[in-house]
Amino acid sequence: MQKMRRVDREVISIEERLAIIDKCKVCRLAMCDGDRPYVIPLNFGYEYNDGVLTLYFHGAHEGRKINILKSNNHVCFEMDGEHELTAAENDCEYGFNFASIIGFGKLEFIEDKNEKIRGLSLLMKHQTGEDREFFFEDARLNATMVCKVRVEEFTGKRRYKPQHRA
């Protein structure tokens, strides 16, 4: 991965990067539609096991996103939060605080029923904040496409509110 230009804003700690992910509810998934980029916002769930981040998404079994991903499963993703405008006396000194995650991976469609349930359960846990068992009817499960991105690399970046100078 290319070195981050603003290394002073890089989030190095995996714990801090996961904390950023915990606060995000929408992940933008970018893919290549031939020679044109295509990006969509998606709700997601995730797990981090043995040093590997895996993102889970759901949706319809058909559509533009599915067609693109069946021909090229390489993706880039982005999520961000902790947004806050920082005003200044000089207009050129305004700033915007944020925390973000950007990464790359390959998307896989999940066909196994138990793995689909696991992916949807992680998505529900992340979106609701509820750590419980979720139930999915077979008809709904069959009607829902579930996929995962095995993340190959990801970085975190944060801009903090500037400290007041004395």
- d(CA 25, CA 43) in angstroms, rounded, equals 6
Q: CA triplet 16, 41, 37: central angle to 5 degrees?
A: 105
Element of type H or E holding 15: helix 14-23
Could you tell me the pLDDT band of residue 158, with boundaries at 50, 70 and 90? confident
What pLDDT, on the 0 to 100 scale, is given for residue 13? 86
pTM: 0.89
Average pLDDT, the chain: 90
Residue-wise pLDDT for 31-77, tens only, equals 999 999 999 999 999 999 999 999 999 999 999 999 999 999 999 99
Q: What is the pLDDT of residues 117-149, one digit of tens each?
A: 999 999 999 999 999 999 999 999 999 999 999
Could you give the C-alpha distances from 49 to 36, 53, 64, 76, 116, in angstroms and in order?
Answer: 33, 7, 31, 20, 18
